[in-house]
Amino acid sequence: MFRHNYSFDPTYGHDLAALLEIAAPAEPVDFTTFWQNLHAQARSVTVAPAWREIPSPQRRTRVFEVEFTSLDGVRINGWLTRPRDGFVERGVVVSHGYGGRDGPDFRLPFARAALMFPCARGISRSARPDIPGNPDAHVLHGIQRRETYVHAGCAADTVWCAASALLELFPTAARRLDYLGISFGGGIGALALPWDGRFRRAHLNVPSFGHHPLRLSLPCVGSGEAVRRYQRRTGRALETLRYFDAAVAARHLRIPVHVAAARFDPAVPPPGQFAIYNALAGSKELFPLQAGHFDHAGTGAEDARLLDALAYFFNRD
């Protein structure tokens, strides 16, 4: 499909038809209870948002550094944007990949919106001495038990508590609250969104953490390879990860979801991405990408088409 120097095939031998047949793995009997309880804990947090305006590179947009409290009393940092003129009529929570974030994304097709760009605990502006920022170490932090695994806190940081902070600052945004997440943020979104009725639509771009049993058999250059090494060393990865499988959670996600899933991806194996899309319980739309986490001659044109598709998906009603 593409010329590359990887020691493995980033299509993993799957064409589009085969990818669309991948089902989610079995669900733990207490999966729903675990996530509902975690969500209830996050919704009980007093998020206490604070913000400080900073210079904006966009004439029509005001930019703020923002912080709020998440689970375990962790203070989360990020950015928030709003229109310079006019009312805020909607809200958007925008998560990031495992590479973190260094500022807001001004390309997104939302008018009259407040956009929250939180950084998950340990990453970018939410860096902490007790949580490693390196993706290979972050993905294993607390993995020994489901109650301590870092992705539980990340779900609160970048979805639930981020939404609470946004809505506290802009109550009118409750009229329409949407979510966008890429890679790490796509997988965390799939895990967290089913339990929070405040969101109306979501976009998941090359989402990670789908079908962990399958992912453990697939080499990659992303954080999943660190999990594979941990599994080879301990044999215990799935004891925790079966509760953090984005494809299992997708069975409970019933809002309209737009998914950009790649057919070729050396960092997030496509079978896991499509397992999430295939499992979605509600209305869903697929934007098949030629490649994820891989620059190619068509990357610019594909990104432009994706932005057009998102404008239509989020603004047509």
264 and 288 Cβ atoms separated by less than 8 Å: no
What pLDDT score was predicted for residue 277?
98
300 and 241 Cβ atoms separated by less than 8 Å: no
Task: Give the residue extent of every domain in the chain.
Answer: 16-310
The 10s digit of each residue's pLDDT in 120-158 is: 999 999 999 999 999 999 999 999 999 999 999 999 999
Beta-bridge partners for 50:
67
What pLDDT score was predicted for residue 103?
97
**How would residue 86 be classed by pLDDT, with cut points 50, 70 and 90?**
confident
DSSP line for 193-242:
GGG-TT--EEEEES-----HHHHTTS--SSTHHHHHHHHHHHS-HHHHHT
**What is 16-310's CATH superfamily?**
Alpha/Beta hydrolase fold, catalytic domain (3.40.50.1820)
Angle 31-43/184-192 helices, nearest 10 degrees? 100
The 10s digit of each residue's pLDDT in 274-316 is: 999 999 999 999 999 999 999 999 999 999 999 999 999 999 8
206 and 182 Cβ atoms separated by less than 8 Å: yes
For residue 80, which phi and psi values (nearest 5 degrees)? -140, 140
- Mean pLDDT within 10-34: 98
> One-letter amino acid identity for 105?
D
- Mean pLDDT within 243-258: 98
User: What is the pLDDT of the chain when averaged over all its residues?
Assistant: 97
**Residue 1 pLDDT > 90:** no
> One-letter amino acid identity for 113?
A
Strands (E), 21-142: 50-54, 61-69, 75-83, 90-94, 113-118
What pLDDT score was predicted for residue 198?
98
- The CA distances from residue 147 to 143, 151, 152, 279, in Å, are 9, 10, 7, 25
Model-level pTM?
Answer: 0.97
**How would residue 113 be classed by pLDDT, with cut points 50, 70 and 90?**
very high
